[in-house]
Amino acid sequence: MSDRRTPALETKSTARAQARPAPSRLGGGLVYGLILPVAAALLYEAAFRAGLVQARLLPPPSRIAQTLWKLAVSGELIVHVMATLLRVGLGFGLGAAGGVLLGALTGASTLARRLLDPTLQALRAIPSLAWVPLFILWLGIFEPSKIALIAVGCFFPVYLGVMGAIANVDRKIVEVGRAFRLSRLRLALRILLPAILPDTIVALRSGLGLGFMFVVAAEIMGASEGLGYLLVDGQQLGKPDQILAAILCFAVLGKAMDWLILAATRPLLSWQDSFARSG
């Protein structure tokens, strides 16, 4: 019956819809999300203080915080964090760019898909870590081989995601563009790009997750700085608090980067945002 509503009523309901405060998903989610880890940390700390647990291998949160604080004050922490972030940034940038380009190519052109996709799928079947010896031979033991490994790790989820997104674009919507006589370029910009954006962002997020996975692998295999180095160092010198501090940093960094992607793309996805909220 909404078709028969009077204009006056419609204006009123529009105003009400706009007045309704948008639930702040991030803020509310943060509070709920913190309950479990904080409670666990407090419980363990209390058990430690009461002498119920031996803390030699699993140090209490207070000691981890202490270690973190020492690393931060000495300026070491920022060096390690920046080293790791730079590797992930460069590797993810290269891998994601390649994934988007090739994914778009194979998604849009049948010829390209027939030519490229079988090879890329075969390469995907190779565990990325298997490339490490070759990369070290080719690129040396320093930064380039690490970045190459991360790039390879990030490439495949992004490639698959973008290719799938293009394949899933509704043919009927594309036809609207054709009926309005859009050129191929305009069709890509005005129909395809916005249509694949949501799936592409999901692909980028999973690519970034793999980027962090591979940066640890690369840094464990040999690095003089980086959070992965802190892990190895902590293991070799028997400092579990340092290992846990580094793990904590990974968790925070990974979450922060993921949030950055979400925050940066949110304005572009506002058309589906409240759908996700209500559904």
Partner 1 sequence: MLSLSHLDKIYPNGAHALDDVSLDVAAGEIVALVGGSGCGKTTLLRLVSGLEAPSHGTVQVDGEAIAAPHPAVGIVFQEPRLLPWLSVAQNIGFGLEHLPASERRDLVEEALLKVGLAGYGPRWPRELSGGQAQRVSIVRALVTKPKVLLMDEPFSALDALTRATLQDHLLALWEANRPTLLLVTHDVEEAAALADRAIVMQPRPGRVFADLPIPLPRPRDRLSTGFVEAKRAILAALDGSLSQSPAAGSKVSDISAGSWW
Nearer to partner 1, 164 or 194 (CB): 194
How far, CA to CA in Å, does 135 sit from each of 9, 102, 189?
A: 67, 22, 37
* CB-neighbour burial class of residue 190 (10 A; exposed 0-12, middle 13-18, buried 19+): middle
DSSP string covering 39-82, please?
A: HHHHHHHHHHHTT-S--SSS--HHHHHHHHHHHHHTTHHHHHHH
Nearer to partner 1, 1 or 130 (CB): 1
The rounded radius of gyration (Å) of the Cα atoms in the chain is 24
* Listed residue (114, 134, 129, 267) closest to 197, CA to CA: 267
**In the complex, what is the shortest distance from the CB of residue 180 to partner 1, in angstroms, rounded to a whole number?**
5
* Nearest to partner 1 of 14, 168 (CB atom): 14
The rounded distance, in Å, linking the Cα atoms of 231 and 247 is 8
Closest contact distance (angstroms) between CB of 189 and partner 1 is 11
Read off the tokens for 272: 């589906």
DSSP state of 21: P
Contact residues for partner 1 (CB under 8 A)? 2-4, 7, 10-11, 14, 172-173, 175-176, 178-181, 191, 194-195, 197, 271-272, 274-275
* Smallest distance, partner 1 to C-beta of residue 194, A: 4
Q: How far is the CB of 215 from partner 1 (least distance, A)?
A: 34
Beta-strand runs (E) in the chain: none
Q: Which is nearer to partner 1, 76 or 170 (CB)?
A: 170
**Residue placing its CB nearer to partner 1 in the complex, 6 or 119:** 6
Q: 74 or 183, CB closer to partner 1?
A: 183
Contact 112, 52 (CB under 8 A): no
Minimum separation from the CB atom of position 184 to partner 1 (A)? 13
**Min. distance of Cβ 269 from partner 1 in angstroms?**
8
